[in-house]
Amino acid sequence: ATASTMGQVALPELRRYRYSPALATGTIAAGGTLGILIPPSVVLIVYAIIVEANVVTLFAAALLPGILAVIMFLLTVAIYVRVAPGAGPRGEPVSRGEFVSATIAVFPVFVIFAIVVGGIYGGLYNPTPAGAIGVFLVAIYGFARRRLSIRDSIEALLETARTSGMIFLILLGAALLSIFMSRAGVPQAAAELLQGSGLGPFAILALVIVIFIVLGMLMDSLSMIILAIPFFWPVIVDLDFGMPVDDLKIWFGIVALIVVELGLITPPVGLNVFIINAQAPDIPMRQTFKGVMPFFASEIVRVVLLVAFPAVSLWLPHLLRG
């Protein structure tokens, strides 16, 4: 949903500014994975329920890795356009007056954003009604500014129906594959293989990460967490990582979710890439995968950092505990 929404908003602008097809679609596909980790995350809540962890603590643990992902993606784009200058044309400088007027113009949208997100964090409503509230407020704003007409509203509803149908067909295929793999005993067999391998804790963790990446290529994040975590968590908790079980739940959960989001852009299959390609059918899928690969490398670096330095995900929960 994140990749689809941002694709509709950002892709026309990126094309208007003549960004390369690979960078434009690759950035949106990779950026669409961030919502899985950054709170409030439904997938993180489901993980917390499965391993019996504290949801608020997991949200706190996800904050720094999420910010790290954003920073690394920004660095990836900066390096990309320096290696391939034609991929992202240099922008024209903006005067202070234009900046101030643009800031004032966007202020109502910022207020709507604050109402929607603030209501979620304040416990007034969960993300689904928050989306409806956001649509309602934006519609009022659009009609008040006379920037939105009945015809535009009908077109928006039709486009939403087309996009939702496309997403649900992809998710339906992923769900059928998930059921097939569960009936075939693939996760159980993988867990038994790891338990009997005799490898060290970090070697087994590396194998779990590889399995998660492969599974993430083929199914959506929620289905994968529900399917795989019940089998792999008992394997992980029996290993000696030199930390309490409560910390292990947090650390493994953050690493697992990052790897799940990595699977969404992993070639040759990646759900986000298919969703973006459906919105830009004139751009060959290989171009999108080409644009995604620098972000894929960035995510691999982030996984290595979080595995090597558990404090990145554990520092804030420890601080909140006092």
Task: Confirm whether 133 is domain-assigned.
Answer: no
Q: What are 128's two structure tokens?
A: 């689904």
The pLDDT assigned to 170 comes to: 63
Task: Confirm whether 45 is domain-assigned.
Answer: yes
The CA-based angle 280-287-254, given to 5 degrees, is 90
Q: What are 102's two structure tokens?
A: 């643009």
In angstroms, rounded to a whole number, what is the distance separating the alpha carbons of residues 236 and 245?
10
- Residue 90 gets which letter from DSSP? P
Query: 3-state class of 53 per DSSP?
Result: coil
In angstroms, rounded to a whole number, what is the distance separating the alpha carbons of residues 133 and 116?
7
Task: Confirm whether 132 is domain-assigned.
Answer: no
Cα 224 to the center of its chain, rounded Å: 14
In angstroms, rounded to a whole number, what is the distance separating the alpha carbons of residues 59 and 17?
36
The pLDDT assigned to 74 comes to: 92
CB 21 within 8 A of CB 287: yes
Cα 151 to the center of its chain, rounded Å: 33
Task: Confirm whether 213 is domain-assigned.
Answer: yes
In angstroms, rounded to a whole number, what is the distance separating the alpha carbons of residues 279 and 15?
13
The pLDDT assigned to 251 comes to: 92
pLDDT tens, per residue, the chain with 322 residues = 677 778 888 888 888 888 888 888 888 888 888 777 776 677 787 788 888 888 878 888 888 898 898 999 999 999 998 888 888 887 778 888 888 888 888 888 889 888 887 886 677 877 678 878 888 898 888 888 888 888 888 888 888 787 777 667 766 776 676 677 667 776 667 667 776 777 788 888 888 888 888 877 777 777 777 777 877 888 888 888 888 888 999 999 999 888 888 877 877 777 788 888 878 888 888 888 888 889 889 989 999 999 999 998 899 888 877 6
The pLDDT assigned to 174 comes to: 63
Task: Confirm whether 188 is domain-assigned.
Answer: yes
Sign of the torsion angle spanned by Cα atoms 295, 299, 300, 304? positive
Q: List the domain range (segments joined by +) for residue 241.
A: 2-94+167-321
The pLDDT assigned to 187 comes to: 66
The pLDDT assigned to 127 comes to: 66
Place of tokens 């234009």: 98
* DSSP class per residue in 160-213: HHHHHHHHHHHHHHHHHHHHHHHHHTHHHHHHHHHHTS---HHHHHHHHHHHHH
Number of domains composing the chain: 1
Rg of the chain on CA atoms, in Å:
21
Task: Confirm whether 118 is domain-assigned.
Answer: no
Which helix (H) or strand (E) covers residue 77, if one does? helix 55-83
Cα dihedral value 275, 276, 277, 282, nearest 10? 150
Task: Confirm whether 201 is domain-assigned.
Answer: yes
How many other C-beta atoms can be found within 10 angstroms of the C-beta atom of residue 313?
Answer: 25
Phi, psi dihedral angles at 125 (to 5 degrees): -160, 160
Task: Confirm whether 141 is domain-assigned.
Answer: no
